[in-house]
Amino acid sequence: MHTQVAIIGAGPAGLLLSHLLHLNGIASVILESRSRNDIEATIRAGVLEQGTMDILLESGVGARMQSEGVVHHGIELAFGGRRHRIDLSELTGRAITVYAQHEVIKDLVAARLAADGKILFEVSDVSLHDLQGESPSVHYTHQGEPARLLADFVIGCDGFHGIARPSMPQHLRQDFQRSYPFGWFGILVDAPPSSEELIYAQHQRGFALVSTRSLTVQRLYFQCDPKDDVKHWSDDRIWSELNTRLECADGWALKEGKIFQKSIIGMRSFVSTPMQHGRLYLAGDAAHIVPPTGAKGLNLAVSDVRLLARGFEQFYKKGSQELLAGYTETALKRVWRAEHFSWWMTSMLHTFADASPFQQQLQRAELEYVVSSRAAATALAENYVGLPL
């Protein structure tokens, strides 16, 4: 089998890239290790930047997001028993949309399949070959049969644990990383929203986040030991912890309900450079990870593939490699900005077990500054809604 662009991974990065290429008349094949059901049911991100919404709408896959997603014009920061609103739209003229990542995945898979796009699910043994020459190939197993896909380019959109990044020559790669001594305990709850906007709460017992999925399903998180086990957390214990961390003097209270999913995720910051070598390009979590406090991961995946789609359009229509050659440099500018923002939000809102009383006072001073200075609030807001592409 031959195609122009071979894409490894049907996450947001791989699916959107394939869709954008198709709109430019460029053929691609996606190889995905999991089943369609699996990728459409995995619960991950929820916050889309304005730029991400714009791309989904402009490229014709935003209709359901527009009708079912909810536009939020602000977020709240809670600390010291008080809530403080950051008015994103007033400060930046932009907004965010809360629409689950797996819904974006469903919309993109449906659009690809409706256009006869090729996605091979449940492939295994994927390996990349001849990445230096003009005809790289991907070897894999599908339905028990070994197979080979020849392409002009190979794009690694296979997430943090994929095979594309390790296929880059080790001696050319430089990795930057930081892991955090805490994780997030995430739950999904059958309940009405407790708040019209997301609440990011700092408390001495640890961070908590009130997010939402719909009028009937809520998404809540709280800082935990990354090595803890969900089995140690009864529903009562979870509600008690969340209520303590979110307690507010104004009488606001969480609306509780039936918890139907519990999970623990680790937190890390990671960047691998370069994001390209020969005919191999990396996009999304395959090249970089941010802690979820800034809600940036999915949005970065989208901005990477937007750059790649433009690069391939220029290559196939004009024969120029200029945009593709500059991919790493252009993408990393945005990546590092998001890395900094996500690290900063994480540092400002979480409890660090080894923080001295001095550092605790600095953390509080920073929060006070962000909610009382228009300049500081604007710095948070413009990063949160996403800087222009």
- Other C-beta atoms lying within 10 Å of the C-beta of residue 319: 7
| Binding track over 330-369 against ligand RFL, x by CB under 6 A | ----------------------------------------
Site for ligand PHB in 38-67 (CB under 6 A): 45-47
> What is the spatial distance between Cα 137 and Cα 143, in angstroms, rounded to a whole number?
19
Size of the site for ligand RFL (CB under 6 A): 36
Judge whether 155 and 279 are in contact, CB under 8 Å: no
Judge whether 337 and 51 are in contact, CB under 8 Å: no
5, 6, 7, 8: residue in contact with ligand RFL (rule CB under 6 A):
8
Specify burial of residue 133 (Cβ count, 10 A radius: 0-12, 13-18, 19+): exposed
Q: What is the DSSP letter of 285?
A: G
Rank residues 25 and 166 by Cβ distance to ligand RFL and give the closer one.
166
Contacts 24+ apart (CB under 8 A), 330-335: 331/275, 331/283, 331/287, 331/303, 331/304, 331/307, 332/271, 332/273, 332/275, 334/300, 334/303, 334/387, 334/389, 335/271, 335/287, 335/288, 335/300, 335/304
Q: How far is the CB of 5 from ligand PHB (least distance, A)?
A: 30
User: What six digits make up the tokens of 301?
Assistant: 């995946």
Three-class SS of residue 346? Answer: helix
Window of 11-19, 131-139, 235-243, 366-374 that interacts with ligand RFL by CB under 6 A: 11-19
Window of 83-91, 151-159, 272-280, 335-343 that interacts with ligand RFL by CB under 6 A: 151-159
Give me the catalytic one of 140, 180, 200, 281: 200
Rank residues 206 and 311 by Cβ distance to ligand PHB and give the closer one.
206
Does the protein bind ligand PHB through residue 292 (CB under 6 A)? yes
DSSP H helices in 69-128: 88-92, 101-114
Judge whether 303 and 51 are in contact, CB under 8 Å: yes
Q: What is the DSSP letter of 169?
A: -
Rank residues 219 and 245 by Cβ distance to ligand PHB and give the closer one.
219
Q: Which helix (H) or strand (E) holds 331?
A: helix 327-349
Query: With CB cut-offs between 5 and 8 Å by kind, which of ligand PHB, ligand RFL, none does residue 376 bind?
Result: none
Q: How far is CA 161 from the centre of its chain?
A: 15
Does the protein bind ligand RFL through residue 248 (CB under 6 A)? no
Give me the catalytic one of 72, 203, 288, 350: 72
Q: How far is the CB of 209 from ligand PHB (least distance, A)?
A: 6
Rank residues 117 and 292 by Cβ distance to ligand PHB and give the closer one.
292
Give me the catalytic one of 19, 296, 327, 350: 296
Does the protein bind ligand RFL through residue 56 (CB under 6 A)? no
Does the protein bind ligand RFL through residue 10 (CB under 6 A)? yes
Give me the catalytic one of 140, 292, 327, 350: 292
Does the protein bind ligand RFL through residue 29 (CB under 6 A)? no
Closest CA to 157 of 15, 277, 13, 347: 13
Q: Which residues are catalytic?
A: 72, 200, 292, 296, 384
Residues engaged in binding ligand PHB (CB under 6 A): 45-47, 198, 211, 219, 292-293, 295
Residues engaged in binding ligand RFL (CB under 6 A): 8-14, 31-34, 39, 44-47, 101, 123, 126, 157-159, 162-163, 186, 265, 284-286, 292, 295-299, 301
